[in-house]
Structure 1
Amino acid sequence: MFTVVIHALLLAFGLILPLGVQNVFVFNQGANQRTIKQALPVVVTASVCDTILILVAVVGVSAVVAAFSFFQTLIFGIGLLFLAYMGFVTWKSEPSKTSLKEGMTVKAQILFAASVSLLNPHALMDIMGVIGTNSLLYSGKEKWIFTLVTICVSWIWFLSLAFAGKAVGKMDSNGKIMIWVNKVSACMIWGVALYMAKSMFFQ
């Protein structure tokens, strides 16, 4: 049982720690919203999306998805376009002004969080492929403990990111740090998009 928990913890943290699009968005919302409570919609949405994907992966749908190359190509294509757009929005965003306008609305937070969670091909492949595949090592009670631990890691991580963003936001009253964070984040997002394009067209 202990081995299952350690395996799930290491795997989940290994997949979620890299500063990807989803993490950047949660962090930025934590920084740009006036209170942590106002950033909860993005935290909950990202966590729920990850929970759904993990559950889907564990029950074996990942094997079905992997069997259809067209579906994978479609996901990558949609994700590529979305990441390009997300990079543009992030580059243009001005945190100092956003904070004065109460930040992103609840509806916008939910839509963007769901998009960066469900339209991010690398996140999909990580969860569906890696977690789904690793879950095959277990059965019965152990399999669901493995699943529960990976889900808990997502919830704890996204909440922690929002708090970290809020801490940075408080230190950055004039928004200058967050402007640079947004620029770097946008470049990272575009970098992921370019890597995806390379994977799609130059295999």
Structure 2
Amino acid sequence: MIVALDGPAASGKGTLGRRLAQHFGLRHLDTGLLYRAVAYRIIADGGDLDDPATREAAARDLDPATLDPSLLRSSAMGEAASRVAADERVRAALLDVQREFAQRPPGAVIDGRDIGSVVCPDADVKIFVTASPEVRATRRWQELHASSADVSYEEVLDDIRRRDARDAQRAVAPLVPAQDAHLLDTTELDIETAFRAAVDLISAHR
């Protein structure tokens, strides 16, 4: 079984993805980490995030087994990832990695921006997770504040809005709900309520 979770930054899809995978005995892939890892590699090597050849080379050399989430979760890395993710050659280089992961038994929960629409259009269940920009910024700021990151709520909100606009307006695989996706708005939901709603959607399919 393949479950596709899509949605904007800080909508809660990553947390949901991990919990749903554990609940249903599936593997989990946060595809946002792939793009963050590409950006991290470029920055660590002193490369240019805006150079297409550098972006593509970093994406093709990426080994998903070496991902270290602790190095990739910062707000700055999220902004950098949003920039490289707009490159069609980067997305093409990572497409097979994501599809191969999804097809391996017993199945997977995969979260990202274009899973239901592009990566796994035949996914068994598609859920588009969203929330208001203000709520998402509050959640992200609380995460960063808990890790002692020196960033204001206003900066996080501005970052969320920039990334929303870039993700929605890019020419390749823009952030849009798949036509057959279930909408899960978590603006007024805590994680437990959102989790139960997602479980119910998947269980109904099974």
Would you say same fold, with TM above 0.5?
Answer: no
> Which protein has the bigger helix share?
1
Q: Which has the larger radius of gyration?
A: 1
User: Higher strand proportion, which one?
Assistant: 2
* TM-score class normalised by the smaller sequence: under 0.3
Compare relative contact order (CA 8 Å, sep 6+) and give the higher one, 1 or 2: 1
